[in-house]
Amino acid sequence: MAAAKASSIELSGTTYCILTGASQGIGRAIAVEVSKLLGPKSLMLLLARNKDELAKTASLCKSANVEVIYESIDLSKANISQMNDLIKTSLKGRKVSDFDTGIIFHNVGSLGNLAVDTGRMENVPELREYYDLNVFNVISLNTQFLKVFEDVEERLVIVNITSLCAIKPMSGMAYYCSGKAAREMYFKVLAEEKKHVKVLNYSPGPVETSMIDFVLSEAVNENLRDVFNSFKSQNTLLKPEVTAQKCMKVLKLSNFSPGEHVDYFDDEI
């Protein structure tokens, strides 16, 4: 990990936090860990499609310091106006200057079609739908966040939940790898242009989530199934709360350069 290029990130003040994909797994774990750190009068906006599971996440984040709002939204179909309104409405009349820090976690994501070989990918509508959720609307939501908080941009923190697959090809996962790579590069470019905004690409490592079972049931690539079977058989999968805690530690230490890809297994200093 590179030497610190910016001041440390402090979430113990009054903080505004958005977290996508907050209904389960890594997203839920990050929400819970973040809620423990936030100071008085902080506000969390949790987003995902499953409203019932979002409600469970919100209940786990209850704190005297934090007001938790959750909204069911399909980010693969949401338009710019809906995203902008969502953020502005969540503020409930409060000014962006009321918050010491504004932070957004882009955790939403999907694996894509694992039942087609890379050399046979030709379903453009399916690809477009995948990129809408995993790349295009991530960029759109991030842009609305920057617009709403434009007057206090120097207080902002952006965390993209990425993957080793963003920088290393994984046989059988062309949708996922290409989407993660495109998404990560967007945040790297953003970090180059806005050095006063703290941008982190955090790779959580192999985590025990529903993603594992999905790969094992859907993947046609034998090497891919072997890799994920080894994760389970060797008991090397991380608990969501463990990697979420590491993410908080990385943010607190702030020893990453703008837009840097930081993996769970990287040293903090």
Instruction: Calculate mean pLDDT across residues 212-241.
Output: 87
- Token output for 92: 């409930």
Rounded-to-integer distance, Cα 147 and Cα 156, Å: 11
* DSSP one-letter string for the chain: -PPP-SPPP--SSSEEEEEESTTSHHHHHHHHHHHHH--TTEEEEEEES-HHHHHHHHHHT--SSEEEEEEE--TTT--HHHHHHHHHHHTTT--GGG-SEEEEEE--------SS-GGG---HHHHHHHHIIIIIHHHHHHHHHHHHTGGGGGGEEEEEE--GGGTS--TT-HHHHHHHHHHHHHHHHHHHH-TTSEEEEEE--SB-SHHHHHHHHH---HHHHHHHHHHHHTT-PBPHHHHHHHHHHHHHH----TT-EEETTS---
pLDDT reading at 22 higher than 60: yes
pLDDT band (50, 70, 90) for residue 231: confident
Give yes or no for a contact between 15 and 103, defined as CB atoms under 8 angstroms apart. Answer: yes
Q: What CATH class does 15-206+240-262 carry?
A: alpha beta
pLDDT reading at 3 higher than 80: no
* DSSP one-letter string for 208-269: -SHHHHHHHHH---HHHHHHHHHHHHTT-PBPHHHHHHHHHHHHHH----TT-EEETTS---
Rounded-to-integer distance, Cα 265 and Cα 77, Å: 34
Count of CB atoms situated within 10 Å of the CB of 40: 12
Rounded-to-integer distance, Cα 172 and Cα 169, Å: 9
184, amino acid identity: E
Rounded-to-integer distance, Cα 257 and Cα 261, Å: 9
What confidence tens digit (pLDDT) does each residue in 201-224 have?
Answer: 999 999 998 888 888 888 888 888
Boundaries of every domain in the chain? 15-206+240-262
Averaged confidence pLDDT in the chain: 94
Instruction: Calculate mean pLDDT across residues 13-38.
Output: 97
pLDDT reading at 80 higher than 70: yes
Residues 6+ apart with CB under 8 A from 256: 1, 2, 4, 5, 200, 250, 262
pLDDT band (50, 70, 90) for residue 156: very high
Rounded-to-integer distance, Cα 167 and Cα 165, Å: 5
What confidence tens digit (pLDDT) does each residue in 82-95 have?
Answer: 999 999 999 999 99
pLDDT band (50, 70, 90) for residue 268: low
Q: What is the pLDDT of residue 119?
A: 95
Instruction: Calculate mean pLDDT across residues 26-42.
Output: 97
Q: Write down the residue that tokens 């192999």 correspond to.
A: 206
pLDDT band (50, 70, 90) for residue 6: low
